[in-house]
Structure formats: structure tokens, C-alpha cells
Amino acid sequence: MLESVLIANRGEIARRIIRTARRLGMRTIAVHSDIDRHALFVREADEAYPLGGATPRESYLDIGKILAAAKHARVAAVHPGYGFLSENAEFADAVQGAGLIWVGAPPTAIRAMGRKDAAKKLMMASGVPVTPGYLGENQGTERLAAEAKKIGYPVMIKAVAGGGGRGMRRVAAAEDFPDELAACRREAAAAFGNDAVLLERCIDAPRHIEVQVFGDRFGEVVHLFERDCSLQRRHQKIIEEAPAPGMDDATRKALCATAVAAAKAIHYVGAGTVEFIADAAQGLRADRIWFMEMNTRLQVEHPVTEQITGQDLVEWQLRVAAGEALPLRQDDLQINGCAMEARLYAENPATGFLPSTGMLRHLHLPRGIRIDSGFAEGDEVSGYYDAMLAKLIVHAADRTAAAAQLERACAEVEIWPVHSNAALLMQIASDPEFVAGKVDTGFIERHAAKLLAAPEPDSALIAAAACALLKIVPDDPWSALVGWRGSVPDFRQMPVEINGKLFHARPQESVPAARAFIIDGDLVLFAGGTAWRCRAPVVARDASAREHADGAMLSPMPGRIVSVASEAGSAVKRGQRLVVLEAMKMEHAIAAPFDGIVSELPVSEGDQVMEGSLLVRVSKEIR
């Protein structure tokens, strides 16, 4: 086994590699940007070296800096993780040229699969079926438009370089082709430095299915079965699972054999994924599944394969890189149950998935399942790197149980004030079509109206907010409201502001399972994977201020006056806001108890008041 490894990556994949390497007795070395100097993976590594800068180009993409750190640390090997330089043949060459072991695919294999058009031509020559389309060198707009017409609309335009869904466009009609082609080229040039494209037939009910393959230096190649990655948004994977729903044994055998043949055709070594597109309009059939591309690295979704096979793929990588044979033969591998992985992102689905950044003032991830994450409470989510906060990974005896487990896990996510897609993931996991295995890459688009709408609180959650605001939950009202049941008082239409909208609490026999916290002055309830910020814009009389019979409004607790919205002698209406008191990091509005005249107003903005102090007195108007 290798003595040490430098991880040329960050976040959850760096932690993932550290975990296995440490179990194997290896010394682990991290490299980091200035932004990541206090990150979890840096703290967990045995040693850490700064790369400087903030952007990927200044840090994790700088080959010279990484090799200098490797030399200084006297490491035996370099593991690139995924993303960044993991599929960069020049980096692999540089690592090996420095006398270090490269924990990845051979540079020749990376180059062979680096361009989609060249990879498809190679696969065609090896007898591997590919999606019908155009792979020609002529990149003229007129030629491409003519080829698209031959293929038949709709067609897919794809950048020949790179991956991750960038540089891809679905074109529905000929008149749209020139503009979509230009946009695809611009995106490809910016992302990969190469604006060449290929064309493919657009599949009506596409399923994205990939096969995990592994090769060693002795020519042995095995597969570890397939994964289904069809749950996508804009070609970005959201939920992955293994095995693929609806895959029968005969189709699986044919597909996996094709993947092994593809890997052997390029003398593959290490972990790789052969990706296929399937026309599932009539179910999964071997003659309707075509090669799409090969990723010459470990995949983000590798944990679902680990869960169903019981194997540690990072350990396999390290052992193969050290010159060992594959740990198991093909006949030793089998599928056990079903696994699913949901990618928890720092983004807001209700605003078009805009990324969300900032400090994680509160972070609670579900317990009892596998969590791969690069963040802890108090960490900063920056805009420089991928927005993935964590991967929620479940494993159960069958797919229905796995989906239910994933739904519960997503519902338990608590994040504040950064937005996340936890509620969206929960809704997908509970959707009847998803549970039934009716998935394809258009699933989210078809269900967008239901899945992407901003969550609205139900009456029970509004009641829970009122309970917290009124401090009527027994013991500590700012801790968990764990399904508390009992005699809940009549809220008398208490107004409650939740996520900026006004609701009225109604009497409830119980409040739902929820957790409430005061975070930086905000009362935040967590339920259903959503954070609900709760305020009392006009608090009920017996909660906001104690009213004497003569109209005197007294402070219910010590606090500071932050706003005075009236003045002595002015006429007011019942319910009109007069004074706002800040107490316990929350604002409490003091409202007029009836129509009348402000007869006394002894407080001013900024005043500190004690409990029971007179805030305002309203006298009934004399007619």
C-alpha cells in the first residue's frame, strides 16, 4: 500500500479520500485556496499546504503549485478526486513526470475519451453502439444545419470537449438552430477552450444510465453494475440510484458487457464510468441503449455503487495505483438492495435555482444515513466553487423503502440563512411517479409547477410558529417542538409573519414535528426541509404588551424601542402599530387596543425599557 497521498481537490471528495486513506494507514496531505484555509478537509488532513488565491484558476487548477506542494510534502501519490484536474491528461503526465504515482486513469485513456466525437468514433470501431448523429470535422454552420435536418428535429447539440452538462442545447425546430448553435459554441469555448460540437438524435424519453468499471495493470476489467442518473435539472444530476429501476437481468448483462468492452478497448486502468443514453419509451431494452461518453475518473455518485456492492471504490483506486490486482473478480460482485443519493445544493429553486452564499449559521443534516459533506456549521459558502453542500445517501432492501428513507432524510435538513434544495429533493422522493420508477431526464420539467413552487406553510405549521412566538411550549420554547401535543389555546386569529407573508394562526389540536431556534435575531422553524422565518407583526394583546383597563400598554419584557409610529395627541385605530419593541433578538409590535387618542407616549426610539414599563396609553375618543 502507498505510504502517503496528496489530494488535489477540496470539499467532500477530499474528506472522502482522507477517510479511506487514513483507514489504510496512509499519510494524507491537503492543498487549499485562501478561501478554504479553515475548511473541514484542511483540518482533517495530516498536513495542508496553501495554494493561494480564491478562484479555481489561482488554486486548484494551478498544476505548478500543486506539484510544488507534493514535492515539499514528499508524497508518494496524487489523487485528483473529481472535477478540476481529474480528467486532465497534462496533469497526469506532470504527476508521473515528477516521479509520483497518479491515482487515476492512464493519460492515454484520458486523451482517448476526452473528446466526445473522438470517443464515439473509437467506440464505433470497437463495435460499441453509439447514438445516431453527426461527428464530422466540418463545423460550418450550414453543414451542421444540414446534418441536423438529416437527423430530424428535435436534435441535441453537444460540445465535443468537457462535460457536466455545459455546452449542450436541445433544438426543437430548424429556425432555432443557428441561435442555439451560437450559444452552445460560446458556452463551450468559455468552459473548455474549444467550441467544436457534435449532433445527436434527441431521444423522446431519455434515461441516463452509467456503468461503473474498474481495471488493473494486469489487463483485468470488471463492472460494478449500473447507476441511473436520469433525475436532472439542465443536464445536472440531482438524484442518482443503483441499480437502475426497470433493468432486467438480460439487459443488465448486455449493457455491462458493453461497458467492459469499451474500457478494454482503451486498456483502461482505475475507476471509470461508461455513460449511456437509453430510449425508455417502451422500457429498457439492450438494442435501445447507446454509448454517450466515458468519464475517466471517480464520479460524484460513486457512493450508491459502494452501498449496493459493499465495496470501497477509493480503496480500490489506491490499491490499483499501488500496482495491486483488482480486489475481486466479476463473479464475486453482486447487487444488494437499492441505494439513492440526493445532492443537497446551496441554491433557491423558487428563484430559478440562483446560487445562495453566506455563512452557515445553522446546519443540521440527517442522522442514521451516510452523509458525504464538506461543510460544518459556521463555515462560509462562497461563490467560487460548486454549490453542493452535501450528498444524502440511503440504502434499503428495495427501491420503495429507499425512496421513503430519502424523503425522511431530506425533510430533516436544517440550513440557515443559506437557501437549499432540500424541500425539492423531499418532494421528488415522495412523488408517486418517482416511487414507481417512472423517471427520465424530463421528470423535473414535467412536474415543475408542483416541484418548484415556493413552499407555503400549512395551518399546523402556522400554529407551531404561534406557539413559539407566544412561548407557550413547555420547558424551553426555543428548542425542539417535537410533535408536542396538548391543550393549545385559542390564538384569536393571531397574525404571524412567515417568510415575509402574513398568516393567521388558528386553534390546533397539536403542532407538527418542528424545531425552532433564535438565530441572529430571527425565530426560525425547520420542517419539511424548509426554513421558516417567523415574526409577530402585530402580536396579540396578552402577548405583546399588558393592557390595563385605562388603555395603558406595558412592556411584556425588558427590551429596546426600535420604532415609534405615532405621537401624543394623535388619533389611532384598533390594531394600528404604535411602538415596536426589540426583545430576545425579536421585534414585538405594540398595537392600539381600540379606536382612540394617544394620551401618553413616554418612550422614544433607542430607549431601553424594563418589563412592566409604560410604553403608550390610549384613551377612548370622547365624542
Domain ranges in the chain are 4-103, 121-130+206-336, 132-201, 340-454, 459-535, 541-620
Which pLDDT score is estimated for 320?
Answer: 98
Q: Pick the residue with more confidence: 589 or 276?
A: 276
**What are residue 543's phi and psi, to 5 degrees?**
-110, -35
Same fold, 4-103 and 340-454: no
Q: Pick the residue with more confidence: 190 or 518?
A: 518
Q: How confident is the model at residue 355 (pLDDT cuts 50, 70, 90)?
A: confident
Name residue 536's beta-bridge partners: 588
- pTM, two decimals, is 0.79
Per CATH, the architecture of 541-620 is what?
Beta Barrel (2.40)
CB 325 within 8 A of CB 316: no
Q: How confident is the model at residue 593 (pLDDT cuts 50, 70, 90)?
A: confident
Which class for 56: exposed (0-12), middle (13-18), buried (19 or more C-beta within 10 A)?
Answer: middle
Q: How confident is the model at residue 439 (pLDDT cuts 50, 70, 90)?
A: very high
Q: How confident is the model at residue 539 (pLDDT cuts 50, 70, 90)?
A: very low
3-state secondary structure of 42: helix
Which pLDDT score is estimated for 602?
Answer: 93
Q: Assign residue 298 a region: left if phi > 0, alpha if psi is -120 to 50, beta otherwise?
A: beta
3-state secondary structure of 281: strand
Report the range of poorest mean pLDDT among 159-168, 245-254, 434-443, 593-602.
159-168
Q: Assign residue 425 a region: left if phi > 0, alpha if psi is -120 to 50, beta otherwise?
A: alpha
**What are residue 221's phi and psi, to 5 degrees?**
-130, 130
Indicate the DSSP class of residue 87. T
Q: Pick the residue with more confidence: 413 or 194?
A: 413
Average pLDDT of every residue of the chain? 88
Domain 4-103 has CATH 3.30.830.10: no
Beta carbons within 10 angstroms of residue 377's beta carbon: 14
Q: How confident is the model at residue 484 (pLDDT cuts 50, 70, 90)?
A: very low
Query: Per CATH, which fold does 121-130+206-336 belong to?
Result: D-amino Acid Aminotransferase; Chain A, domain 1 (3.30.470)
Is residue 489 predicted with pLDDT exceeding 70?
Answer: no
Beta carbons within 10 angstroms of residue 593's beta carbon: 20
Q: How far is CA 242 from CA 205, 397, 511, 611, in A?
A: 19, 12, 37, 60
Residues whose CB is less than 8 angstroms from the CB of residue 557 and which lie 6 or more positions away in sequence, other chains included: 581, 583, 584, 611
Q: How confident is the model at residue 478 (pLDDT cuts 50, 70, 90)?
A: very low
Query: Per CATH, which fold does 132-201 belong to?
Result: Dna Ligase; domain 1 (3.30.1490)
Residues recognised as catalytic: 297
Query: Per CATH, which fold does 340-454 belong to?
Result: D-amino Acid Aminotransferase; Chain A, domain 1 (3.30.470)
Name residue 37's beta-bridge partners: none
Report the range of poorest mean pLDDT among 68-72, 460-464, 489-493.
489-493
Which pLDDT score is estimated for 63?
Answer: 97
